[in-house]
Chains A and B, each alone.
Chain A
Amino acid sequence: MRRLRKILIWAALSAFAVAFIYPFVWLLSASFKPRSEVFDHRILPETFTFDNYIRVWQEAPLGLWMANTLLVTVLAAVAVTITSAMVAWGFAYFRFPGRKALFGLLLATMMLPGAVTMVPVFLIWNDLGMVGTLTPLWAQNLFGSAFYIFLLRQFFMGLPREPFEAAKIDGANNWKIFTRMALPLCKPAVVVTLLFEFQAAWTDLMRPLIYLRDSSTFTVPRGLKALLDQFGFGGEWHWEIVMTASVITTIPMIILFFLGQKHFVKGIATTGSKG
């Protein structure tokens, strides 16, 4: 009876695992098929070809798009992590009047839908002459982000105060205490922040749609959408191109996941238990 239950659970899990993984396998295999075979649903292509990859590279400046995305993503992740950690430390360590009210305000900003600030923020970048450049995609991160500040503050609050007080008496200044002691102790939360923001910036479509005009400035998701508009909706469907570009867009995220799997899973698991 117990054994039967175990087998059933295992069978159910395996069936779901196939359902979750299969679309990847299908997409990957289709990217090696000629157009006529894309929809034949064979896992191993009957005619194996690299042509799709060569054609995507000829049709679109994919290397440039990758470089743009990488630049934006790294700047966005590093900027938001450093400043969010600073602010989080400010809220977690110091005692000052108005601390609770300010932190409450910070939490309240998380509830504001992005739609409300979308138009005025666009107008700010427009006035600064930055629309059409990559700057609006990451520069706002220089001011931290409420969600990460909250996440990092929770972590800082869990650290014992004594070592910091001792260092202070020994003459260490606040900046040194933050960079040399607090930040290294909070490495797991810093890694989670970096990974989360890297993923968010890499996969974002809406802001590149708003801010980027010229194909040479596109990020990969924005470029993928442009390819779909051109090779999909533009007339005769070229599934093989759109699909191969999807594979290329997804692979960096998969690699990132396998590199930081432990941190991703831990980070996600803790965000939920705060509710």
Chain B
Amino acid sequence: MRSMRFIETRAALLFISPWIIGFLIFTAWPVINSAYLSLTDYDVINDPSFIGFDNYVTLFEDPKVGLALRNTFLFTVMSVPTQLVVSLGLALLLNSATRATGFFRTAFFLPKMTPPVAIGILLLMLFNGQNGLINSFLGVFGIDGPAWTTDPAWVKPGLVLMSLWTVGSSVVIILASLRGVPQELYDSALVDGAGWWKRTLRITVPMISPTLFFLFIVDSINALQSFTEAYTAFFGAGNTTYSNDAALFYAIYLFQQAFEFLHMGYASALAWLLFIVIMAITAVQILVTRRFVHYEGGNS
């Protein structure tokens, strides 16, 4: 007679079988194949030819790789902290408001529903150097705005500012965690006479630091892989009007190598370099930031 344990295991495996099959076909095999392809020269039409570590050597000699890495780092370093500060600020404001919070939350979240390709187009129009909305707004204060979309020095700041438009989901996440901070902590701080700033810095921020930490890691990983907005606005068929080096993000260069130039082997090597870079950055972030993250019930 079959044991209960056997029957239970068989039932469980049936339920999780879709994922196991999918994992083998669409994750495990591609990872192995990608490692192999990164050691070959492959254009899809002809069979892959084995070239050892040549692709990896090329990586370090390719000036575009250095450029793309620099652009991606700069964008990440500029956008992630700004996004965090802005979304924390908005969440704090929302949390201290008593009325119409539902309306404001909706207002902040709505841009998140805009398809990234439309955001790329909106970027080109809002930040248009001659007659865009942003420069017209600056003009009100007598400021002569820069040529955001054509001046290489201003392309990344423009992308960073545009990325602030979609902080809505971070605001919602931070707000949820603000609501979880126990009121007693504030009450006793008020008795001690602590002002708003002090309460925010000493109580609120430490109490929600796990959430901020989570957003910091996730936003960084996303920023390191950003593609759509920059690709829409600065790359693609027929786009010869811009010197778009300033917007060449790593994911864009990888995409071009794989699907525009059909350098599948080289693109695979680029993908592995990205993987290592993301892992290394995430590990460093976790090690460094852990000291500032407060977990209730001790650090575990």
Contact = CB atoms under 8 A, between A and B. Distances in A.
B172 to A, nearest CB: 5
Interface string A70-106: 0000000000000100110111011111010010011
A271 interface: yes
Which secondary structure dominates chain B's binding surface?
A: helix
Given A112-B275, A225-B232, A87 B16 contact: yes
Interface stretch (A19-27, A49-57, A158-166): A19-27
Contact of B34 (A12, A119, A250): A119
Contacts of A97: 9
Given A10-B99, A39-B128, A119 B117 contact: no
A36 B78 CA distance: 36
B172 A94 contact: no
Given A17-B108, A229-B236, A265-B105, A206 B228 contact: yes
A250 B165 CA distance: 15
Sorting the interface of chain A by its residue count into under 10, 10 to 19, 20 to 34 or 35 or more gives 35 or more
A264 B170 CA distance: 13
Interface in A120-146: 120-124, 126, 140, 142-144, 146
A209 B172 contact: no
A171 interface: no
Nearest to A270: B176
Interface residues of B, number: 104
Interface in B42-67: 44
A13 B97 contact: yes
A265 B168 CA distance: 10
Contacts, number: 280
A264 B108 CA distance: 13
A112 to B, nearest CB: 7
A144 B132 CA distance: 43
20 contacts: A16-B107, A26-B133, A27-B125, A86-B16, A90-B12, A94-B12, A95-B12, A99-B12, A115-B225, A116-B30, A120-B30, A123-B33, A205-B116, A233-B239, A242-B121, A249-B118, A256-B113, A268-B173, A270-B176, A274-B214
Given A116-B271, A272-B176, 19 more contacts: A10-B97, A10-B99, A13-B104, A16-B107, A24-B110, A26-B133, A83-B18, A83-B19, A86-B15, A94-B9, A94-B15, A96-B12, A113-B274, A114-B225, A115-B275, A123-B264, A126-B44, A224-B117, A265-B105
Interface of B: 5, 8-9, 11-16, 18-23, 25-27, 29-31, 33-34, 37, 44, 90, 93-94, 96-99, 103-111, 113-118, 120-122, 124-126, 128, 131-133, 136, 165, 168-170, 172-177, 180, 210-211, 213-215, 217-218, 221, 225, 227-228, 231-232, 236-241, 251, 254-255, 258-259, 264, 267-268, 270-272, 274-275, 278-279, 282
Interface of A: 6, 9-10, 12-13, 16-17, 20-24, 26-27, 30, 39, 41, 83, 86-87, 89-91, 93-97, 99, 102, 105-106, 109, 111-124, 126, 140, 142-144, 146, 149, 174, 178, 199, 202-203, 205-206, 209-210, 220-221, 224-226, 228-230, 232-234, 239, 242-243, 246, 249-250, 253-254, 256-257, 261, 264-265, 268-275
